[in-house]
Each structure stands twice: as C-alpha cells, then as structure tokens.
Amino acid sequence: MTQAFRLAAGGAIDRSHRLAFEFDGLRYEGCLGDTLASALLANGVHLVARSFKYHRPRGIFAAGSEEPNALVQLARGHRTEPNVPATMVELFDGLVAASQNRWPSLDVDVGALAGTLSRFLPAGFYYKTFMWPATAKAWLGYERFIRAAAGMGRAAIEPDPDRYEHQYAHCDVLIVGGGPAGLAAARAAASSGVRLIVCDEGPHFGGSLVGESASIDGVDASAWIDGTVAALAANPDVTLLPRTTAFGCYDGNMVGLLERATDHMSAPPAFAPRRRLWKIRARAIVLATGAHERAIAYANNDLPGTMLAGAARTYVRRYAVQPGTRAVVFTTNDSAYATALALQDAGVAVAGIVDARAEAEIAGSLPRRARAAGLPIDADSVVVGARGGKRVASVDVRSASRTRRLDCDLVCVSGGWSPVLNLFSQARGTLRYDEALAAFLPESSSSVLPAGAANGRFGLAAALSDGHSAGLRAATGGAASRLSAPQTEREASGAPRTLWSVTSKRGAKRFVDLQDDVTADDIALAAREGYTSVEHLKRYTTLGMGPDQGKTGNLIGLALLAEATGRTIPQVGTTTFRPPYTPVTMGAFPGQESGAHVEPTRYSAMHDWHVEHGAGFVNAGLWRRPHSYPRAGESPEDAANREAKNVRANVGVVDVSTLGKIELQGRDVAEFLNRIYANRWDTLAVGRCRYGLMLREDGIVLDDGTTSQLASTHYLMTTTTVNAVKVMQHLERALQLDWPELEVYVTSVTEQWAAAALSGPKARDVLQRLVDIDVSNAAFPFLAVGECRVRAPDGTIPARLLRMSYSGELAYEIHVPADAGRAMWEAVIAAGEPFGLMPYGTEAMTTLRIEKGHIVVGAEADGRTTADDLGLGNLVNAAKWCIGKPLLERPALKAADRWQLVGLTALDGAPMPRAAKIVVDPDRAAPNPMLGHVTSWCWSPNLDAWIALALLARGRERHGQVLWAVSPLADAKVRVKIGPACFIDPQGERLRV
C-alpha cells in the first residue's frame, strides 16, 4: 500500500499525478506538488537520517530550508549532491535519494555506538583528546578516523557536468519572500507602477498561506493567492522568480539570489542551466522572509516524530499528509493551537496540548477554538522528555501537581518564532531583543524594509497590513495610495511565554542544535570552561555551524549561555549573520566563467596560420602565442633551437601583434614622454624611434618598449604584451589628473594593428622584395620609421615599417591593419622562402633575447630592480625630471651591494637548473646564503652552451668569477661563470649593418 498517510482531500497537491521515487533503495510513490519530505511522510517513513556526531536516528523536523535533520544525498545518473534538505527537494518522477552518515544502513547503524559512548564525547572532545602527542602529525593520523565517523554526505568527485548561468537585473523594489506579507507588499508596490521583482524559495507563491482556510478580501486564501499572483504575472513591470532564494545582501543594495531552474524536472531540457545566480540591484528591498519556529530543549527532543508545530500544520494543510496518528503539541504560544486544530481536522488524534503558560494566559481566540473542539489542554505544563527507539512512542508531561505519560507518535513543538533577518543584518540593520516575544527584532532602519513576521508582526492580518505598508513605502516612500490593505479576520492572540529548555534527569540529551548535535549540557560545559563569548561558544561547540546555520536552534543556545553566565540575552548578543542564507552550489558562482572561459582569450590576426602550420601555443597574458613550429618528428625544444639558430644564420619572422600599441597625438607629446619615460624624447625626430624605460613613482622599473615619431604631433608607443593595460591606465591617469594642461590624446590600438618582426642577416634581402621603398642602410638606417606598402597577392597593403631589433640581428617590424595581418604574414613567408626564412615562436625569441641580454619586465625587472641594476642607468636622463626619478636618489637604491644583471655560462656541460639561486658553496647546509638568482635561462644553440641571465649582488664586479647555481627543489647544481649580460655581438654591429 502506498501513501497510507495521504489525506483523501485538501492540500495543494495533484493526486491524479503520481510520481515514483526511490529512497535508500526502496521505491515509493508521491504526488505532484510533494517535496521529498512530504512524500516520505505520506508513506509513513519517519526515520530518514542519522545525526552528525552521535548517529542518533532522526526524522523530518521542519518543512522548509531551516530543516536541520533530514539531509539527503541526491543522485541523478552519475551526478550526486550531498546535504540537501528533503524539505527543499521537489518530487519528480524517478527521483533517487539516499540517507547519509550511516553504515551499513539507516536502520542498523554501527556508528550509533557513539551515542552510547556519548558521555565520553562532550563538546571539545576532539580538541582535548587528540592533542597527545602534541604534534601535527599525530593529529593528522587521528583526523582520518574522526572524519570517517563524523560528517554528512559525500561530495561528487567528477567534474561538475552541469551548466550554471549568471543573470543581472535592476528594479525599483525587490521583494524577498512570496508569502502573505510579500504578496501584499508586491500588490501594493505594483499598484504604483514601479519595476518590481518578487522571489520565493518555494515553487509556488503563497508561503504559509498555501492550503490554509482563511478568507481574505472576501475570498478564500487559495483564490486570493491565485488572483494576486495572476495580477502580478500579467503586469509587464513585475518579474516573479519562484524557486529562488535570496542568499546575500551586499553593498549598494545588491542582492545575490540562487534560482533552482531545472532541479525539479525529471528530464531537464538539454543545455538548460541547472541553477542561475542572480545579481539584482534594487532601489529598495522588502524583506518578507517570515519567521522560523524554535524548538525547546527537552530530553530526547530529537526522536523521529518530533516536528516543529508550524511544519506539522504545513504537512497537513499544504501536502495533505498525516505526520502521525496520535499527537502531543508542546507550546509556549498560541500558534501551535492552529496545528492542533489542523491535526484534528486531518483525523490525527490529539493526545494533549501541553502549554507552558498558566491557565489565565491561555486566552487567545485559537485556544478558545481548541477548547471548543474538545482538545485536551494541560496548562502550566511542560514536556520533560520523550521516549522511543526509532520513533517517539510517548512523552512525560510535568504539571504543577503531577507527571504523567502520554502515548504518541508525533510531538509538535513550538518554542516561539524568530524573525528571519539575515539579509537585514547583512545590510547593516541592527537588531534589538524583545523580551515579550523572546525574539530579536529589527531595530535601526537600513535599506532593507522587513515586513510581516520578519518584522515581528505575527498572524495573517498583521502580515497582510504590514506587507502592504512596506510595499508602499518601498515603492513611493509612503505616498498615499487609493489601494487598501487586504483584509482578513484578526485573531486575538495571547502573549507567549519564554521557555528555552526543560530540565530533566542527568544524562538525557536535550538538543539545542540538531544538525551539529549540540546539547544544552554542551552549552553549560562551554560556559563553565570559560567560552562565554558567543563567538567562542559557537566555535567550541559548533553551535550553528552546520549547513542550516542554526536556523531553529541558535537563539536557544544564546539564551542558555545567558542563563549559565547570569547575563541577559542582549548582553550575550548574537553571532554575525553572513551570506549565504542557505548553501549555494559552488558551480553557480563561476557560472559560465569556468574552464576555458575563466578569462577571455586573445588571438592575433595570424593565429589560424600558426595553427595550420603546427605551432604549439603558450599563454602570454590573455594572448595565445606560438611557442615554436615543430616539424614532423621534432620536439618543441628542438624546433625552438632550430628556429633560433636560423635567425642568426639566415632570417626568421615572429608574430609580435601582441605587443601593446598606443598612439599618442597632440602638441605636447614630446614633453609628456619626457615626464613619463626616464630617457629623453624632445630630441627624437620624425621618422625615428627610440627604446624607452618607464619608472614607477618609487623609481623601480615599470615597463619598457619603443616609441616612434610618425609625424610632428603623432607618435606610436609599444609596451610589453602583459603590461599594455597597466601602461595605458598609467598614461591616462597622468594626463587626466596630473597634467590636464598638456595637449595629448592617447588611444590603444593594440587590436587594430597586426605586426611581424623580421630578423636575421638576410632580413633586408627579404624586405626589399616585399616593400615598395628603399630599405638600404643609407635610406633606412637603424631606428628608422616609415610608411610603405607590402606587396601581397591580392594587392598591396599599407604598412608601418620600424627598424628595431630584439634578437640583436638586422631586424624590422612590419605593422599592418589587423584585417591584413594574415596576408602580410603570408607575403613575408613567401618572400623569405629563397633565403631560408623560418617562422619562429616565443621560445626562440626568448633564447635570442637572453643571448643578447635584453631584459623582460617581470623576469629581470621584477618590481624591485632599478634601471641601474639592469645596466640601463644611462637611460635615466640627468637633465630632466621624470616620474620616479626623485626617489631614485635614495641611498638603498644606490648601494654598492645591489643585485645587478649579469650573464651566466654553465661550466662542465651541465644544464642550468630551473629557478636556481646563486651561492658560493653548493653543499653548505641550509640556509645557504644567497648572492642572487637566475631570472631567465636557456640552451643557446648559437653558443652551444647553457646560459642564463641573473641578478647577482655586486654582479658587475664579479665578471670572470665562478660561482654555483643551485636548485634545492630540483636537487641540481652547476658551476657557472659570471660575465656581462650580453653573449653575442656586444657592440651591436649586426643590427646596424
């Protein structure tokens, strides 16, 4: 028989739409509209989990996201998700779920021995016990066993196969929560014509009102909900977001929300995102998040069959389920009487209503109705403890005069209600403790307006009117409106009584935090041991540190700490509310920005050619650059060596499109360059270019590159590939903030121009066949710049030609509009063919520049080096000021023992170790004093030696010395000879021929 505990009528479920599901290997049936929790209850399944620490049997405790017990592991194909509250899982056909933290089965769990031994497992047990011997290693040994015994579900180990999306939105008013207060707020706000977003964590709007029998504005609750939601849905300025939890409130009224887009479907559509992360910026936020009911700490208050009273009512009214057959209701307030009445309606025997208040205090309209319905009420009474094995069987009720036992299989508890103010608090709203309601209520106003139960206005009538006025305030600032608040019958409710725990015989467990297995005795112990600050208490006992963040238990813990330390609850205070309100799937945060999409990828105009010609690629900033072009059977290293050798012997071409390119125009460019660069620029002439070095304000090298003067007021600056953005920002800042009087316009043209560097002794031979101008040494000398046209099969291409060299050979850079990049590149390849031209990649380029001792910003210039350290001190012009120059005068930057750039040649044929430091004695025990370190190294095919550039203390004085380069990590060492940083053609004759 299935769904034996399903009511014949009522509820917001579809009995004709049956859904099959599986829990712990057994098949069950539920209805459309069920959650996993309600479907399990409909089938009489109450034991659904084992607790975190003691492995005690646990049942379904709540009906929403505050659920502490019923965490399950979901499986879908090979996908798995741990720690999902069964109360938040919408049932679908074929759903598969399993219980957690049990072995071999939920019914027979070996770990439950921990419960028997629990006298020996007090708060802080692990900290106290496993500290001997006091070494980290010992703890790591114990930890394996402790972790295996404790814990929750298992995380998936495969990469997440699902898709997640990000969605940004703006609105005038965001309403968080679609219960009665939220809907009343939405209705009011929408009437003023503002743009509105309403979210609710459930699949349907209506919240606690769903399935209830109240009458609002003359219609029954479900008709009012349907009418209100339909009107909102039809309004083009309103967006409704069901299944969406607002989990965090951030600066500037930005709210983070998680939408569960396809979790409820048996077969999600292909490519649909599983979850969607919303970032909504709202002018005003209404927080209609309701309140969480609290438990009461009595003995064995965790037995399956124990449930919050409001949750029991939800199961009856909304899901048409009998959560038990014989119930005891234990309460401190009127709200649980509605549960008792609902249970009676549903055919559940009510064995007793145990009310902690005196007879005279039980005077509200709900208790009156309960009395009229013949329900037995024990005033001035408490439940001392529950009995039972895997489900509650009876409770002991203590009254002033006697203690008696009541048989039952359901205990409905209400210890009062705590407004849900997480987002209010995150938005810097402050809370005050209300003695009468025994709850923290919103105090200071923040940008978030709490409404309804979240604002301490309990009961349907209060929720509707408070929601209505909050909606108007949020939308219009409280301007008068013709719309009146929804009307319903107001319940006369009696005052609640504050009751946190019920003392009982020693040893019985009275749970405060069900999810973390924290008991009232743990709180008392922590207080005795001095953990009297609420933050310490939390960390010592783990109170409120589970995935549920202590939604139903935290306040009890604070209250018990206050009692134990003789303070008031406001004196104890609360722990800080931090996002997220409920757990957020990690995959939702990166969204689609994962894997290859973490950052954009930039490709040069010649990229496809490189791919077609077998290039391997390397990342340079966001760019993909060819590393080398291996031929059949060739390793990338061999290819790079061949390419580097060919540049010095014949000619090569490298794609340098990735260099940052900035155009500067205006009357004052030369003056601006004088201030930005260390060297001098007012002496540059049209048609010439120059190497330049930029310093930071503190004198350290920022970037290097070249700048060409194309016309009297028109310049082209190149920067390093990785620093292009930083340099652009640096120039803009100086022009806009420091020297607005200079007429200089800067434009980044990196994307607009493709560039190739042609270098090698035969470069001119190739170029002469390629361009329409005279490129003889006399007509186009070293550091000349000019315009020309490149001959290509489909016509000539306008180009900028720059004679400069990074390789140290005769070399030219050809810049063309990016669209023509590939045509230019192919023309160069074709023209070079008779001269043995080969394309070369970044690896050969690096080898060539190390051979020449050319620095790279980021390697040699590492954020600590000065121009002088790099042997470029003469570039800092003495006759003029520039950014960074004044602080270069500091003694430490001029000290004799600074690390200076040198060249190293490995002796004895041994390879240069990776990331080596330079020492005198390689075998000395650590710490071995370090004289410097290698910054770049390579095999030089042109020198037949391992060479390196290094920063070395007093390096320029050490030319000729032999030291050691050692790498303790690689366990490698090599003797190195110190020399100048330039290994080839130190006079620079080759590049001037």
Interaction residues for another protein, span 226-245 (CB under 8 A): none
890 binds another protein (CB under 8 A): yes
Query: Which residue lies nearer to another protein by CB, 21 or 577?
Result: 577
Instruction: Name which position in 18, 405, 432, 733 contacts another protein (CB under 8 A).
Output: 733
Provide, rounded to whole angstroms, the least separation between the CB of residue 874 and another protein.
Answer: 21
Give the residue with the Cβ less far from another protein, 116 or 444. 444
- Binding region for another protein (CB under 8 A) out of 316-324, 410-418, 606-614, 885-893: 885-893
H/E element, 20: strand 14-23
Tokens linked to 364: 């509200």
CA distance 301 to 676: 73
Minimum gap (Å) between residue 443 Cβ and another protein: 16
Phi-psi group of 302: left, alpha or beta (phi > 0 → left; psi -120 to 50 → alpha; rest → beta):
alpha
Give the binding range for another protein (CB under 8 A) out of 49-57, 203-211, 733-741, 815-823: 733-741
* Beta bridge mates, 377: 353
Please tell me whether residue 879 binds another protein under the rule CB under 8 A.
Answer: no
* CA dist., res. 664 & res. 670, Å (int): 10
Judged by CB under 8 A, the residue of 133, 236, 251, 596 near another protein is: 251
* Window of 716-724, 754-762, 792-800, 881-889 that interacts with another protein by CB under 8 A: 881-889
Q: How far is the CB of 585 from another protein (least distance, A)?
A: 20
Least separation, in Å, of the C-beta of 323 and another protein? 43
| 862 in contact with another protein (CB under 8 A) | no
Mark the segment that binds another protein (CB under 8 A) among 252-260, 295-303, 365-373, 826-834. 252-260
Closest separation in Å from C-beta 889 to another protein: 7
The yes or no reply on residue 887 touching another protein (CB under 8 A) is yes
Angle at 669 between CA 664 and CA 672, to 5 degrees: 110
Contact, 2 vs 43, CB < 8 A?
yes
Q: Are 335 and 546 in contact (CB under 8 A)?
A: no
Interstrand relation of 275-287 and 164-176 (parallel, antiparallel or unpaired): parallel
The sign of the torsion formed by the CA atoms of 300, 304, 306, 307 equals positive
Closer residue to another protein, CB minimum distance, 460 or 662? 662
The 3-state secondary structure of 762-799 reads: CHHHHHHHHECCCCCCCCCCCCEEEEEEEEECCEEEEE
**Start-to-end CA span in the chain (Å):** 97
Of 338-346, 613-621, 652-660, 883-891, the window that binds another protein (rule: CB under 8 A) is: 883-891
DSSP output for 948-985: EEEEEETGGGGTT-EEEEEETTTTEEEEEEEE-S--S-
**Is 253 among the residues that bind another protein (CB under 8 A)?**
yes
CA 818/CA 797 separation, integer angstroms = 11
- Closer residue to another protein in complex, CB, 738/921: 738
* Local structure of 642: helix, strand or coil: helix
Chosen residue from 29, 237, 345, 698 binding another protein by CB under 8 A: 698
Sole window of 604-612, 735-743, 779-787, 801-809 interacting with another protein (rule: CB under 8 A) = 735-743
For residue 310, CA distances in Å to 90, 168, 435, 641 come to 19, 35, 22, 76
Query: In the window 423-452, what residues touch another protein (CB under 8 A)?
Result: 428
Q: Which of the residues 498 through 527 are near another protein (CB under 8 A)?
A: none
Shortest Å distance, C-beta 733 to another protein: 6
Establish if 729 lies at the interface with another protein (CB under 8 A): yes
Min CB(263)–another protein separation in Å: 27
Give the residue with the Cβ less far from another protein, 577 or 939: 577
DSSP H or E run through 260? strand 254-260
- Indicate which single residue of 732, 772, 787, 921 sits in contact with another protein (rule: CB under 8 A): 732
Backbone angles phi, psi at 777, to 5 degrees: -60, -35
DSSP tag of 380? T
Q: Is 250 near another protein (CB under 8 A)?
A: yes
CB of 738 to another protein, least distance (A): 6
Instruction: Give the tokens for residue 311.
Output: 């949750």
Task: Identify which of residues 204 and 885 has a Cβ nearer to another protein in the complex.
Answer: 885
Contact flag: residue 889 with another protein (CB under 8 A): yes
CA-CA-CA-CA torsion sign (381, 385, 386, 387) = negative
610-611-613-616 Cα dihedral, nearest 10 degrees: 80
Indicate the SS3 state at residue 849: helix
HSE-CB for 429 with a 13 A CA cutoff: 28
Verify binding: residue 752, another protein, rule CB under 8 A.
no
741 binds another protein (CB under 8 A): no
Looking at beta carbons only, is 254 or 907 nearer to another protein? 254
Q: Which stretch binds another protein (CB under 8 A): 250-258, 500-508, 627-635, 636-644?
A: 250-258
**166 near another protein, rule: CB under 8 A:** no
- 738 near another protein, judged by CB under 8 A: yes
218 scored as a contact of another protein (CB under 8 A): no
Cα 166 from chain centre? 12
267 binds another protein (CB under 8 A): no
Closer to another protein by Cβ: residue 151 or 666? 666
Task: Please report how close the Cβ of residue 600 comes to another protein at its closest, in angstroms.
Answer: 12
Greatest Cα pair distance, the chain, in angstroms, is 117
CB hemisphere CA count around 952 (13 angstroms): 31
Residue 686 CB, shortest distance to another protein, in Å, is: 28
Q: Distance between CA atoms of 209 and 313, rounded to whole angstroms?
A: 11
Which residue, among 640, 621, 618, 623, has the nearest Cα to 631 in the 3D structure?
Answer: 640
Q: Count the neighbouring beta carbons within 10 Å of the beta carbon of residue 376.
A: 14
Residue 281 binds another protein (CB under 8 A)? yes
Select from 635, 881, 895, 993 the one that contacts another protein (CB under 8 A).
Answer: 881
Task: Report d(CA 399, CA 356) in Å as an integer.
Answer: 9
Of the candidate residues 141, 795, 798, 886, the single one contacting another protein (CB under 8 A): 886
Residue closer to another protein by CB (options 285, 901) is 285
CA 749 distance to own-chain centroid = 34
Q: Which is nearer to another protein, 250 or 603 (CB)?
A: 250
Stretch that binds another protein, among 7-15, 249-257, 337-345, 852-860 (CB under 8 A): 249-257
132 near another protein, rule: CB under 8 A = no
CA distances from 111 to 151, 172, 183, 865, 953 (A): 11, 53, 46, 61, 63
What gap in Å lies between CA 278 and CA 255, rounded to an integer?
A: 8
Interface pattern 311-350 for another protein (x via CB under 8 A): ----------------------------------------
Decide whether 281 or 933 has the Cβ nearer to another protein: 281
Query: What are 521's two structure tokens?
Result: 């005795």
- Dist CA 289 CA 283 (whole Å): 18
Q: With CA atoms as reference, report the closest residue to 950 among 986, 991, 919, 926.
A: 919
Return the residue of 599, 697, 751, 921 that touches another protein, per CB under 8 A.
697
| Pick 170 or 924: Cβ nearer another protein | 170
Q: How many residues bind another protein (CB under 8 A)?
A: 22
Sign of the dihedral defined by the CA atoms of residues 568, 571, 575, 578, in that order: positive
**Looking at beta carbons only, is 475 or 888 nearer to another protein?**
888
Do 645 and 942 meet the contact criterion of CB atoms below 8 Å apart? yes
Give the shortest CB-859-to-another protein separation in angstroms: 25
Residues that bind another protein (CB under 8 A): 250-254, 279, 281, 428, 697-698, 729, 732-733, 736-738, 740, 881, 886-887, 889-890
